[in-house]
Amino acid sequence: MPTARVLVVHDYPLIYEGIRSVLGPEPGIEVVGEARNAADALGVCSENPPDVIVVDLCLESAEVIMGLKQVRALGTNVKTVALTMPCGTQTIRKAIAYGVQGVLCKNAHNSRLIAAIRTVFSNQFYVDPELTELFAKTLAMMVPDDGLRAEHPTYEALSARERQVFAMLANGMSNKMIAFELGISRKTVETHHLRITRKLGLRDSVELFRYAARIGVIDIEEWRVT
């Protein structure tokens, strides 16, 4: 079984030591390093990308969003588990905007951290059970109930390849990852990406996610709860 290589992004040594002590004995999980901020994490990911980043959302928000966006721009397949205190819809919105695959309360039992890492490493989404109601409420606010599976005339105008790329973008894949998966150049993917956003009138990845959920291209039920 492949081993999930984990990078911990934190601002206090005790947090790192605590997470390492929890994950150390676990088979199939290896803590490979630590970073004190998002900039340090970017440097690590540029040289030797881990499989999973565990990051504290309470770190300086500007650093977090910039760092995670830059990590995603590298084109690696790094997954992110975000740690947060009991929060409101704004924090959940931030987590979605940052492109995280797992959201976990800081007061969660150790077993949930292990479950979150294993879940995102297997290309699924994880939501802490304590946050499921809040997460559902946030998504309901983001995705209007106007017929999730209904055909949308603007979407229908996309070519077959553009729809394929759109679905892959909505599922969190980078341009580089899509190019590799489809066997085409990154420049070609970037061209498709640009045409898609122009045709659909989308400004960023959050709008793309909302649009995809609204028309049923992705299923918000895929966010796994364990």
Are both 34 and 110 inside the same structural domain?
yes
Are 167 and 218 contacting, i.e. CB atoms less than 8 angstroms apart?
yes
Tokens of 206: 């959050």
Q: What is the CATH number of the domain that holds 27?
A: 3.40.50.2300
Where helices occur in 25-88 by DSSP H, the ranges are 38-47, 61-73
Closest to 61 measured CA to CA, from 26, 37, 35:
37
- Interatomic CA distance for residues 222 and 178, integer angstroms: 20
Domain coverage including residue 23: 4-141
Are both 57 and 163 inside the same structural domain?
no
For the segment 128-146, what is each residue's pLDDT rounded down to a tens digit? 888 777 776 676 665 544 4
The one-letter amino acid code at 200 reads L
User: What values do phi and psi take at 213, rounded to 5?
Assistant: -70, -40
- Interatomic CA distance for residues 20 and 43, integer angstroms: 20
Give residue for tokens 């479950």.
115
Tokens of 38: 């998002």
Are both 16 and 125 inside the same structural domain?
yes
Closest to 59 measured CA to CA, from 23, 31, 35:
35
pLDDT of residue 4: 92
Query: How does DSSP classify residue 81?
Result: E
- Among 114, 141, 168, residue at a domain's last position: 141
Domain count, the chain: 2
Are both 48 and 94 inside the same structural domain?
yes
Are 59 and 37 contacting, i.e. CB atoms less than 8 angstroms apart?
yes
The Cβ-side half-sphere exposure at 81, using a 13 Å CA radius, reads 30
For the segment 170-206, what is each residue's pLDDT rounded down to a tens digit? 877 778 878 877 888 989 999 999 999 999 888 877 7
* Parts of the chain with a pLDDT under 50: 60, 62, 144-150, 222-226
